[in-house]
Amino acid sequence: MAVRTLDELIRQGVAGQRVFVRADLNVPTKDGQVGDDTRIRATLPTLRKLVGAGARVVVASHLGRPKGKVDSKYTLAPVAARLGELLGAPVAFASDCIGPDAEAAAAKLGDGQVLLLENLRFHPEEEKNEPGFAAALAKLADVYVNDAFGTAHRAHASTAGIVAHVRRSAAGDLLRAELEHLRRVLEPERPFLCLLGGAKVSDKLAVLEAMVRRADAVCVGGAMAYTFLRAQGKPVGTSLVEAERADDARRVLAVAQETGHALLLPVDHVVAQKIETGAEHRTVREIPDGWMGVDIGPETARLYAERAARAKTIFWNGPMGVFEIEAFAKGTEALARAVADSPAASVVGGGDSLAAVNRVGVADRITHCSTGGGASLEFVEGRALPGVTALENAP
């Protein structure tokens, strides 16, 4: 079913109406300051459209994992300050996301003004999608807009439950763009290349199984590659391995063989004895005892880049090595350049992958940088996202 767009909602009229915007403002904060404001900037187009249309905007988000309790470490107050700076106008802040304080703050809003509510996850009812909590959120607004693709795979009160309690709902511009670009991955122009990295096979088993059937080639990096190599009987030294996932790895390899799709594993490795800055490291074809793989080697990076150059659609999620340490980030950075240089339609998601394209200065050459790591993986697996389904079923 079609989801109402923000432009359609605005054409129907939002001036003077309170619009509840579920945004993803889950950004790093320290000492009362926002670190990386990428996610705040990503939702600015939606907020500016609503402000320009005269809406009274009530913004809600989670931050961190406070486990259903008030924790000052996870307050959204610094985010309100930064959001106001980026919008160029003051953003009011409510000390709670429901109840008298929130309702009073929402009632004070004038046309074109913005209010940010305190952390949704200070209430356990948010993640439980408790109907009463969803209704309490809905009391703050007449209209609902979901612009938080990063949480669209969660059936929470603010992403799914609230929709039943408002008159109109729509997808924000960020959410709409995410869906449009990720649908290219579901119906790709071929050759279709999938680049998957990260630490654990268990974290990405479902997307591995889906992609090895759908993609013409899947290139695997990161620590999860060593589970595959161990499953093939190859030496991996002290590399991180999920021994209990060996059968899963062999099953994925078998599916690749059955479908005729390529599943590529590293042919050389950057290895070290310790994962720490300044640790001795070297490039090897075969990992020796006492050493662990910490990055794909240059030959592997070249082979993966060659696949990227020939592709017409690319989906990349996850780093190729221990990206946090500069000496072990070369493979991930090489792939960032390769994806940017490719003529393919490219979708990049996951924190480290996005950090890589930003670090090497090629983000503007990626077709779409997805803000939702887990949500994007579930979407390309072909799973329904509760936040999107709620909008599809809205009146």
Annotated catalytic residues are 39, 200, 351, 374
pLDDT at site 374: 84
CA-CA distance, 264 to 75, in Å (whole number)? 44
What pLDDT score does 93 carry? 98
Question: Residue type for 135, please?
Answer: A
3-state secondary structure 177-235: HHHHHHHHHHCCCCCEEEEECCCCHHHHHHHHHHHHHHCCEEEECCCHHHHHHHHCCCC
Taking the C-alpha atoms of residue 38 and residue 354, their distance in angstroms, rounded to an integer, is 10
6-174 and 181-381, same CATH topology? yes
- Residue range 178-201, pLDDT digits in tens: 999 999 899 999 999 999 998 888
Q: Domain locations in the chain?
A: 6-174, 181-381
* DSSP classification of residue 119: -
State which fold the 181-381 domain adopts.
Answer: Rossmann fold (3.40.50)
Instruction: Give me the percent of the chain exceeding a pLDDT of 70.
Output: 100
129-181 pLDDT, tens digit each: 999 999 999 999 999 999 999 999 999 999 999 999 999 999 999 999 999 99
Report the alpha-carbon distance of residue 334 to residue 190 in Å, rounded: 23
* Count, residues in the chain: 395
- Residue 92: CB atoms within 10 Å: 17
At residue 395 the predicted structure's pLDDT band, cuts being 50, 70 and 90, is confident
Order across the sheet with 114-116: list the strands. Answer: 91-93, 114-116, 56-60, 18-22, 143-146, 168-171
Superfamily of domain 6-174: Phosphoglycerate kinase, N-terminal domain (3.40.50.1260)
Q: Which two tokens stand for residue 14?
A: 């939002």
Q: What is the DSSP string of 35-92?
A: S--HHHHHTHHHHHHHHHTT-EEEEE---S--TTS--GGG-SHHHHHHHHHHHTS-EE
**Would you say residue 1 has pLDDT above 70?**
no
In the chain, the percentage of residues whose pLDDT exceeds 90 is 87
Answer yes or no: are the C-beta atoms of 298 and 268 closer than 8 Å: yes
Amino acid code (one letter) for 184: R
- Tell me the pLDDT tens digit for each residue of 221-243: 999 999 999 999 999 999 999 99
The tens digit of pLDDT for each residue in 286-329 reads 999 999 999 999 999 999 999 999 999 999 999 999 999 999 99
